[in-house]
Amino acid sequence: MSNKINNMIIPAYLNQRIVFDLIAMLQDGLSTVTRITSVDSTADKDRKLYGAAFGLTQVLSSLLKIDVSGRRTLNKEKTAEVQRNEERVHTPASIFKKLREILITDQKVFFLDDNYSPKPGHMVEFTADLRKNPLIQTMDAIVGLMDMAITFSNEPKKKGGYKPKPDENKTTKRQMENFLESLKIGDTTDIVSDTLANKYRAVITLEHEFLNDPTMSDLVDGHFEVLGKIIRVITDSSCSINLIRKTALSAMPKKVLADMFLVLSDLQTEKGFDIPPLKLEIEGPVIHVIPIAIFS
C-alpha cells in the first residue's frame, strides 16, 4: 500500500475541478498558499581566503547556496538570526497526489482485482489498457478509406486521359463525415478499457478540457492507472452501454440504425475494405466510470 501512495504521478488526464472539490470537502476548505516561517543561525564572517576554486560557476554556486571552492579560511564570526518567509503553492498534480494519499489511507478507494464486486458510488482505482471509442475509431478509418476510394475510382478513356466514373463514394463519404461529426459533438468523449482483472470492461467518460492532449495520442493504446467513481454497473450481456447515447441517433429505433449501417457492411463484404467491425454498444459485464485522473 505504501508503494501505491509514494509513487510519483504523471497525469495524462486530470479533472482539476473534481480534485479541488474533493480535497476541500475532506479538509474543511482548501488552503491555496502555505506560509512557512523559519529562523536560521548564520555567520557574518571577515575572511582571508587561500587556495583556488573548483570549476563550478559562481552563478551555480549562488543558486545552490553552497561553497564548493575548496579554500581555507581564517574567520572572525558574528552570529545573527535571520527570519525567512516562504510561500508554498501546490500544482493541480501535487494536490491530486495528496488527495489520493488521503483516499487510500482512509480506505475510501476500492482496488479492482478478481475478488472485487463493483457497485455504483464506489471510488475505484484500476490498471487498464485504454482504447478510443470503437465506433469513432471505426468511422475515422472508414472516412480515410473513402478518401482513397474516391482517388482511385477513375477509369481511363479509350483515347487516353481519365474520365470520372459515376461514383457513390463521394455521397457515402459525406454522410460518414456528418455522422462522425455528430459522434464527436459535445464536451465529453468515451474511451474504453480492455477486460479488467475482475472480467469487467470499463467505459470511461472524459471531459475534453482536462485532457493533456486533445487528440488523446498520449492516452489511448497505453497502460494506465485510472482513479474515478463508478456511476453504472452492468453485470451481464443482457444489457449494454450505448456509445451513441449523447447523440440524436440514440433516439432512433435499432432497426433503423441497422439499415443505416448496411452500406458499411457492404464496404467490408463486397468491396473488401479491411475495417474494424462497427460497435454501437459495449455489452456487460461493464462499468461506467467518471474519472478523476488517468496517470502513469
* Residue 162 counted as domain residue: yes
Interhelix angle 169-184/134-151, rounded to 10 degrees, is 150
* Residue 276 counted as domain residue: yes
Residue 261's pLDDT is what?
67
Give 50 or 21, the one with higher predicted confidence.
Answer: 21
Q: 53: pLDDT confidence band, cut at 50, 70 and 90?
A: very low
Q: Judge whether residue 132 has pLDDT over 90.
A: no
* Residue 113 counted as domain residue: no
Q: Tens digits of per-residue pLDDT, 10-36? A: 999 999 999 999 998 988 876 655 555
Tell me which residue of 37, 12, 64, 79 sits closest to 220, measured CA to CA.
Answer: 12
Residue range(s) defining the domain that contains residue 157: 123-295
Q: Under a CB-based contact definition with an 8 Å cutoff, are residues 292 and 162 in contact?
A: no
* Residue 280 counted as domain residue: yes
Q: Tens digits of per-residue pLDDT, 143-164? A: 877 777 677 665 555 555 555 4
Q: Under a CB-based contact definition with an 8 Å cutoff, are residues 37 and 75 in contact?
A: no
Grid cell locating 228: 474515478
Which own/partner pairs from 90-96 qualify as long-range (CB within 8 Å, at least 24 positions apart)? 90/32, 92/14, 92/16, 92/19, 92/20, 93/9, 93/10, 93/11, 93/14, 95/19, 95/20, 95/23, 96/9, 96/11, 96/14, 96/19, 96/292, 96/293
Per-residue pLDDT, averaged over 223-248, amounts to 92
Per-residue pLDDT, averaged over 44-52, amounts to 46
Q: Judge whether residue 64 has pLDDT over 50.
A: no
Question: Could you give the CA distance from residue 50 to residue 15 in angstroms, rounded to a whole number?
Answer: 57
Q: 274: pLDDT confidence band, cut at 50, 70 and 90?
A: low
Q: Minimum mean pLDDT among 4-8, 98-102, 186-190, 254-258: which range? A: 254-258
Q: Judge whether residue 68 has pLDDT over 50.
A: no
Residue 38's pLDDT is what?
57
Buried b / exposed e across 29-53, counting CB within 10 Å, b at 16+? Answer: eeeeeeeeeeeeeeeeeeeeeeeee
If one counts the domains in the chain, the total is 1
Q: Judge whether residue 240 has pLDDT over 90.
A: yes
Q: Tens digits of per-residue pLDDT, 94-126? A: 999 999 999 999 999 999 999 999 999 999 999
Per-residue pLDDT, averaged over 122-148, amounts to 85
Q: Judge whether residue 79 has pLDDT over 80.
A: no
Q: Minimum mean pLDDT among 170-174, 184-188, 200-204, 266-270: which range? A: 266-270
* Residue 44 counted as domain residue: no
Give 259 or 125, the one with higher predicted confidence.
Answer: 125
Grid cell locating 248: 440524436
